[in-house]
A = this chain, B = another copy of it.
Amino acid sequence: MMTVERPAEQVDPAEPGFRYTRKVFFYETDLAGVVHFSCYFRYLEEAEHALWRAAGLTVDRAGASIGYPRVSASFDYKSPLFFEDELTIVARVHAVTQRTIKYSFVFTRGETAIGIGWLTTACATRQEDGSMRSVEVPPGVVASLRAAAGQA
């Protein structure tokens, strides 16, 4: 049996977070007239990377030895998004271990709750044979991310 255990997760909207906004593009909609559900995972990655930039960091470029492969991702959809909507995402560092970072992403459009996403990433280094090996998150990364999110 493959088992996936998910504890209850909570986002405290009173806690500070990093704010990212963007407009919905035409090509992100589908024939139902709304943003395709897979695009929400692209949006939350945009917010993740904007948080990294705000922290003076960048996730890796081609050739770099450290990367952040995804361990798990999830989204709970509340209301649809439409073409040209202004989406706001509040990103927070939710939990960390020595080798992983877990983020929450609260999506809103004005006063409307759009949904909540979660992303857990591992820190990994590429080995000579091309495979990835889990390593510890470099010192200072989490503190910088939390500071950029106002969570320090």
Binding site for B on A (CB under 8 A): 1-13, 25-27, 29-34, 36-39, 41-42, 45-46, 49, 53, 58-63, 67, 69-77, 80, 82-84, 106, 113, 116, 118, 130, 132
Contact = CB atoms under 8 A, between A and B. Distances in A.
Given A8-B5, A10-B1, A70-B37, A42 B25 contact: yes
A29 B30 contact: yes
Contacts of A32: 60, 62, 67, 69
Nearest to A106: B2
A53 B7 CA distance: 35
Contact of A74 (B27, B46, B75): B75
A4 B12 contact: no
